Structure 1
């Protein structure tokens, strides 16, 4: 005699705390803690594969939050996160750091190809339209590209370099991609 029992619900309940610890509640992407953990695996690695990181900042996103409310802004972030996943490889990691800041970890990807991916993402974000009830909105994004290098010896230095390049893209008017290029350490460039 066989007795079958569906354990799907019980398994999902057991996995929920693990999933929640690694994912953002709104976008269902990896969260800051998880992307920092994954990035730490590559920082200082002796492997000779190139690794790049994209820092994505949505231009003028606060206008959507103020004009349409938090619920619409959250829906927009979710849709944007799902769209970002479709623009990268399965081996890449897309994460939401905070607010309207995203990070994409691109293992086995040099700066040249990372720029191509960044431009594809920038273009896709510019073409993405929010449709939620009567609300319609479009945004653009600034992206910073950084390839891991020996001078970027901590996770914070890598993320800071990506943010620095992204800030340059915003200063240039937004809706653009900038690459972090260093001849010294990140701390020297950031003035820390």
Structure 2
């Protein structure tokens, strides 16, 4: 019995979903429910994770949570009031690398797992019809922002997934396809 080439085994829907993914900087006020989000997070948590440390957690921000984050961002920037940035989407998902003690798995690898969960979650949300963009900023390392999220000393905020409905007529421009050959090489001899 012959087996198909590995590329042929890749599900066309998954391949198409990844190829079509876009960042949505503007979204509507619609957002997935908590129950829907739980389902997506359960799937996203299946990323490769050396020693199964699960060195990540996500924080769901809705409603007034976004205002509190806005105040923390303003404090981090040395400003008064509240930054309007967190109000750009009805749902923000804070992505947190939650480092575990390990002799085998360094911190950079644990952070990569947390980033992998976030990216996989963004793909799942996009495929389900939600607009998503991963936002960061210098204030992700600010004390006021860390305190607003209740971060522990062993945690680092990697940014937020801003999630909302995809506007009908505000579709982002098509992205230039990746030139895979320029990023793929062989080990030198």
Q: TM-score scaled by structure 1? A: 0.33
Structure number having the greater strand percentage: 1
Q: Which has the higher contact order (CA 8 A, sep 6+)?
A: 2
Q: Going by fraction, where is helix more abundant, 1 or 2?
A: 1
TM-score, structure 2 length as denominator? 0.34
